[in-house]
Amino acid sequence: MYNLRNKNFLTLRELSSNDMEFLLDLAENLKAAKYTGTEQQKLKGKNIALIFEKDSTRTRCSFEVAAYDQGAHVTYLGPSGSHMGKKETAKDTARVLGGVYDGIEYRGFSQRTAETLAKYSGVPVWNGLTDEDHPTQVLADFLTAKEALKKDYNEINFTFVGDGQDNVANALMIGAALMGMNYHLVSPKELYPSQDLVDNALKIAKKTGAILKFVYLKDGQLDMDDLRKKITNQTKFVSIAHVSNVLGTINPVEEITKIAHEHGAYMAVDGAQSTPHMAIDLQKMDVDFFAFSGHKMMGPTGIGVLYGKEELLNQFEPVEFGGEMIDFVYESHSTWTELPWKFEAGTPNIAGAIALGAAIDYIQELGIDQIHQHEIELIDYLMPKLQEIEGLKIYGLKDNVKRGGLIAFNIEGLHPHDVATALDMEGVAVRAGHHCAQPLLNYLETPATARASFYLYNTKADCDKLVEALKKTKEFFNLD
């Protein structure tokens, strides 16, 4: 769901709090996978150069073993095994190694050398140690602290005793600011860090009152163990789609809401993909906020609904101002009228509201449970037929009961946009692209998918038409 592919790792100063959080989570997950024997080789076939101007048995062994575990091939260039800085410049070395390696780990004397390697090699460069920075050591230290103390990072008080100008001290100060940790430096005044570094750390700390955490997937659905680990007493807000618009997964909103509330967090749910398709009981879900759009339930565009618990909405200030939302206006301040008018500034979308109401009435007249059952029957009918098409990959759950009325797929060897165009020529409409869910598609390691969506007006004949059109698409592109 998060992508730092092909990016350099030269200093923590170039990272956001989310970048740092991702790297720490990645390290934690890789370590757990190694111990359980479930590690997957994400670097299979990759070649990595280790340039060590300064020897370190522990660092070399750790990096080489980790690279081998991930399927990468490593070449070690020690202090006597490289001509960099002797017979050739760092720029020359960068160009040579960049032509034959997929990444470079540098451990040496100069931050400038690491930056030169990154600038001229054209491949990712990772800083294992320089005179100014030691970012990889900070990742290891923070992970160790979390494991030993069993606390979230922003609950940890971290004290560094020593040279405040040291490369480790520099990296620790920035890392602590990124993760919202309380950082204390005990050092003689003449060894204080530079004011620029202190100002930078304070600036980061001021911006990082909130840290965004992502819950990852397991077998096409949310990994609930990962979710329970990431929702802590420090969590303030949990947001989730009721039904994924990419995978079609129906998420266990009621269970997640209970977990969020146990830790004092608010729960917000995007119901755009669920409200038109299944019965919604907000009291049972106990969510704090719930939103859906009109056009996905046969209503007009430009209008939707935001539900919020009354006691919470009363605490919020309006963000738009105009007629009907004020109570009294004074020269120095204004007071707002009661709900819901407080949030409905100016002339509302009257026509849109009437049309949306008519659409909701129509759906209720047909029966939302009947609509949901109809979609399940269509998915049950279509799924086996799609699975028979060679080279077609389906994303999401295999359990159709936990899936909404959509199927995302790709055909091996074809871009989803080409698939969509070919299907359009056969009279079949699908969506193709990243579906406003790029982090998820990055996690799935695909830039885009095609997506077939079903509703009350679709039939089994439409399913057959899709299958036939997909077969013709493969024939047209000579993929059979």
For the annotated catalytic residues, the residue numbers are 436
How far from 215 is each of 218, 240, 248, 307, 397, CA to CA, in Å?
10, 10, 17, 24, 17
Q: CB–CB of 221/249 below 8 Å?
A: yes
Q: CB–CB of 259/287 below 8 Å?
A: no
User: Phi and psi at residue 275, in whole multiples of 5°?
Assistant: -55, -40
**CA-CA-CA-CA torsion sign (260, 261, 266, 269):** positive
- CA–centroid distance for 12 within its chain: 20
Buried b / exposed e along 197-233 (16+ C-beta atoms within 10 A):
beebbeebbeebeebebbbebeebbbeeebbeebbee
Residue 164 structure tokens: 């405040």
Q: Give the integer Cα–Cα distance in Å for 333 and 384.
A: 63
Q: Give the integer Cα–Cα distance in Å for 3 and 125.
A: 16
Q: CB–CB of 240/251 below 8 Å?
A: yes
Q: Which amino acid is at 106?
A: Y
Residue 138 structure tokens: 């900070």
Which DSSP string corresponds to 70-84? TT-EEEEE-TTS--B
Q: Which amino acid is at 372?
A: H
Q: CB–CB of 114/125 below 8 Å?
A: yes
Q: How many CB atoms lie within 10 A of CB 147?
A: 11
